[in-house]
């Protein structure tokens, strides 16, 4: 019989988010790590390929998204690792609240500590990569929609490999094929936004909702952004269930 509590799932959800954010705040030196990964990986490409601005403009969307992918992959390990090692994960699985809700809370907190900083750094890096100014808004949109998908899908992978000895390489092999559609969609969207296109004809000159109308109806990249949003909703609804099931199996 599950013990009766007078706290509901929402309280548990918020409690876990609060706990993880508090832990991240206590070890705030570690929050800088994903940002550093991101910056270093982005700076590898101009050094390796060519610092020529014309070349960099064309490949800037890809560079930023590949770097976001790799930084997300490298930071996935601290989603469940510390809780697995001190036994908190088992306690979470045994709690009366649905495991999916608790896992959702952990993933959201993880995104706030690792994905959100990338969003703040990305425009600066895009500027150094000479990204076309038209594409900045689409860059931010794809990052805002795409990085949570990376966290959710990566959570399934890390839940499967958290108990294994050499799980790091296996995690990359499992999770990167699932990341590839997101990578392709996002960089295609940003490239289309950066390519020459006719100026928006405003409905009411200067109104803010012109850009929204343009984005949702006329933009060449709207299909990609719709697909990304659909993938995000799919990930939010189904990934916590898969992660919870995977955690139960890993902790057996």
Binding site for other proteins (CB under 8 A): 153, 156-157, 160-161, 164, 166-167, 170, 173-174, 176-178, 180-181, 184, 188, 192, 220-221, 223-224, 227, 231, 234, 238-239, 242, 245-246, 249-250, 252
Nearest Cα to Cα of residue 248 among 153, 162, 150:
162
The CB-of-108 to other proteins minimum distance in angstroms stands at 19
Please give the Cα distance from 13 to 25 (Å, whole number). 18
Buried b (16+ CB within 10 A) or exposed e, 8-40: eeeebbeebbeebeebbeeeeeebeebbebbbe
CA distance 187 to 123: 15
C-alpha 200/C-alpha 224 separation (Å) is 19
Q: How far is the CB of 182 from other proteins (least distance, A)?
A: 11
CB of 5 vs other proteins, minimal distance in Å: 28
User: Which residue number, 38 or 179, has a Cβ lying nearer to other proteins?
Assistant: 179
Q: How far is CA 169 from the centre of its chain?
A: 20
Rounded Cα–Cα distance for residues 38 and 167 (Å): 22
Q: Left if phi > 0, otherwise alpha if psi is -120 to 50, otherwise beta: which for 87?
A: left
Comparing CB distances to other proteins, the nearer of 38 and 152 is 152
Closer residue to other proteins (CB): 107 or 242: 242
CB of 159 to other proteins, least distance (A): 8
Q: Between residues 12 and 145, which has the closer beta carbon with respect to other proteins?
A: 145
In the complex, what is the shortest distance from the CB of residue 181 to other proteins, in angstroms, rounded to a whole number?
6
Q: Which is nearer to other proteins, 212 or 234 (CB)?
A: 234
């Amino acid at each position: 019989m599950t013990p009766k509590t007078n706290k509901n799932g929402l309280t548990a959800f918020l409690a876990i988010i609060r706990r993880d954010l508090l832990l991240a705040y206590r070890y705030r030196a570690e929050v800088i790590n994903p940002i550093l990964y991101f910056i270093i990986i982005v700076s590898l490409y101009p050094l390796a390929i060519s610092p020529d601005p014309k070349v960099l403009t064309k490949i800037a969307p890809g560079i930023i998204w590949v770097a976001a992918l790799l930084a997300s992959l490298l930071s996935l390990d601290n989603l469940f690792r510390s809780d697995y090692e001190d036994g908190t994960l088992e306690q979470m699985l045994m709690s009366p609240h649905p495991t999916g809700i608790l896992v959702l809370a952990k993933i959201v907190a993880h995104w706030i500590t690792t994905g959100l900083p990338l969003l703040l750094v990305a425009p600066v890096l895009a500027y150094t990569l000479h990204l076309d100014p038209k594409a900045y808004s689409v860059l931010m949109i794809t990052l805002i929609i795409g990085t949570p998908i990376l966290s959710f899908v990566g959570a399934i992978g890390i839940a499967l490999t958290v108990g294994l000895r050499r799980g790091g390489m296996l995690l990359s092999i499992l999770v990167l094929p699932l990341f590839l559609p997101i990578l392709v969609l996002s960089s295609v969207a940003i490239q289309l936004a950066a390519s020459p296109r006719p100026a928006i004809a405003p409905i009411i000159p200067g109104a803010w909702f012109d850009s929204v109308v343009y984005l949702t109806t006329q933009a060449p990249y709207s299909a990609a952004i719709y697909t990304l949003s659909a993938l995000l909703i799919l990930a939010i609804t189904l990934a916590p269930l898969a992660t919870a099931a995977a955690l139960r199996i890993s902790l057996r």
